Structure 1
């Protein structure tokens, strides 16, 4: 099946190189141009994290592309083997360690559906190996990981798409496009809009259970590798398989499970893809240091006054600090309204498949995905600390707050680092 040709073919590269024969023997095909698959070949693909969301994430990776599954990886070998059998009749090689998978020279695209404490490290390793990535949400476990992912994909020129797609519909909706223009224009100097997301965050469902005793590690599971960059803890089954979401070591409760779905399209609509909130105000009971729990609401205020509010609807009082209202042309002067009407529509967002083919940024690109994940991380940190936080979205640090800043880039277990 025909593919988009290289901008520079492997043959032309070698013909210009005095050491071409040596280079061809030691360098992966990804460096010889973009996209990195010759016209006669399919894209070689792999899934890392084959349980839960894995099959769905892999299917999103494959949309619009001619692919061949070459590898399946999971710290539980049974899950990797099952996925390989289901999608390739067992032809795709199974791995337990993602590092061995990423050594393959026939691998072009990687879907990542591990728990979030592995998302950043594996995404960065894949970019370094010359691969494009579609990663399950949330993007990361803490803020500094997101910036490291953004920098890595910029450095290596790879394509990244977060595994949530609501912004693609928003970018085609006339009302959302108008709001995007208003908020991106710079004409809204003092915005009093408040956007509320009430419910749908699975707060109780993904609240953790502390105090469960150690259990026997399954024979097929590499528990040390599962823990990876997070603190090592004795195995117990609720730390895996979906209920991992209730432990701060791996995710951030229902907030992080569902929040990127809800706030990623909102972030595009209100033109916040390149910034973060400056004030975060929570209402929540005292938080447990190891597991996630209940909360009532969190208000996130941006520098221009715009506010996102998330209300759990599962605990505590309703949010009543400010009336909920949307952005409108009526918020602007007549002259500014005409300026908005004359603005061109934003560029269409590219799907992952189109971005891979065209070698252009995907709609859910690293910076946007990072900023959407920051909404969730900042909200969770305000809940955990039980107080208002003030944040610098450019430096990506809390202002004069050493206690809060320790949560932005917590130590990773050796030998893992970002």
Structure 2
């Protein structure tokens, strides 16, 4: 770690080689251990948490507790879950039993986040709830761990970023890929080259689906409604989404297959890939300007198949999501690489003289120091934006142009309505 904080780490909260464009995706590593210090050590305006973080978890499904174990426990921090919340009373009962004596259950997240004894709120609900719960938790003075994808649509992400800055809170998205990327000298070299602004010809990054299949993420068109189980508050589950007739396929893990709640497999998995890729290629503070999808006509309610999505940035850098399960394969053309020899001698010397980027900061360390975590809100928002733009192109069936500063789609009113989607009353950003 250098003597001074590097610019790519963001403001406080309150060698030579040839690199394949996929070489840095070889794996991820656990976050470095960090300790939480007692309140009396740091002092200052902000009173840091004690050695043990008090945590509340909203969402008691399959991911409940995973982010807490990974990003607090896995980073050497101590924690205790004092509260859990879910719209399903059976899940609440199981979670309370799992976390032991002293854990209290809720069915309304607002009652959980108003507790003054919590340091951190972990948001593990379906994505259509992520932004509203995150913003409310920050407003209540809590730091936030949030499952991926960060949001359901683009405008929500900017609202979360603004809330983190306004209330001086730490945010961490539920993916850790950039810790593994940082360990690769090749990835650090690409990062330095891209951040230098000296590369005149930008390459493409080809991202294969890797580990999941698209077809199982397809929704069901027109399923016959069923009776709402007595242990489930279906109205609260839908929340800001339309109050659709209940069907078990719209609940649990299969909620991902419907546009009302998430954005199919791209939204579920792509943030894992995009988080390290964005950091390596220096795109944590911007978004693509052109997005084109190759996919069949999309259903307005149920997510379906797609082939590939191509996303181009203003400097020519292109990301490609290649699903590989529908239609003709993406034409990868020639394999392209990034190397120091792409630069003239003066530029090479400048890049080689650049210090290595600062190591990514764990959530535990970010809470302790009040500086940005590795998966901070702006980076998470920009990664989610790529996902949302890809899904908008799939749903519209045409190329879209995007302004990454205004965060609006250009010249396409229908597509732009998907950037800032309406919420069901009384919920709003």
TM over 0.5: yes
1:171 aligned counterpart, secondary structure: helix
2:65 is aligned to 55
Give CA-to-partner distance per residue, 1:177-227, whole Å, 9 cap, x none.
000001111112331x11111122531121111110111111111100100
**Larger relative contact order, structure 1 or 2 (CA cutoff 8 Å, min sep 6):** 2
1:394 is aligned to 405
What are structure 1's unaligned runs of at least 5 residues? Answer: 10-31
Find the aligned partners of 1:282 and 1:326 in 2 and give their Cα distance: 24
Give CA-to-partner distance per residue, 1:58-83, whole Å, 9 cap, x none.
31243222222110100101112211
Q: Does residue 71 in structure 1 map to residue 78 in structure 2?
A: no
What are structure 2's unaligned runs of at least 5 residues? Answer: 1-35
Give CA-to-partner distance per residue, 1:320-367, whole Å, 9 cap, x none.
164342322222112111111110011111111111111111000000
Find the aligned partners of 2:71 and 2:313 in 1 and give their Cα distance: 33
Match of 1:43 among 32, 41, 53: 53
2:126 is aligned to 115
2:216 aligned counterpart, secondary structure: coil
Check 1:388–1:44 CA distance in 2 against 1; reply closer, same or farther (3 A cut). Answer: same
Find the aligned partners of 1:352 and 1:155 in 2 and give their Cα distance: 19
Give CA-to-partner distance per residue, 1:241-275, whole Å, 9 cap, x none.
11000000000000000000111111111010000
Match of 1:199 among 209, 224, 246: 209
1:327 aligned counterpart, secondary structure: strand
Matches within 5 A, 1:244-393: 244-320=255-331, 322-393=333-404
Find the aligned partners of 1:309 and 1:4 in 2 and give their Cα distance: 47
1:85 is aligned to 97
Check 1:6–1:95 CA distance in 2 against 1; reply closer, same or farther (3 A cut). Answer: farther
1:416 aligned counterpart, secondary structure: coil
Q: Is the 8 A contact 1:284 1:383 kept in 2?
A: yes
Give CA-to-partner distance per residue, 1:362-394, whole Å, 9 cap, x none.
000000000000111000100100011110111
Aligned residues: 391
Find the aligned partners of 1:265 and 1:159 in 2 and give their Cα distance: 19
Find the aligned partners of 1:136 and 1:150 in 2 and give their Cα distance: 15
Match of 2:167 among 132, 145, 156: 156
Question: How far does residue 4 in structure 1 lie from its aligned partner after superposition?
Answer: 4.7
2:182 is aligned to 171
Find the aligned partners of 1:399 and 1:383 in 2 and give their Cα distance: 16
Match of 1:238 among 249, 262, 265: 249
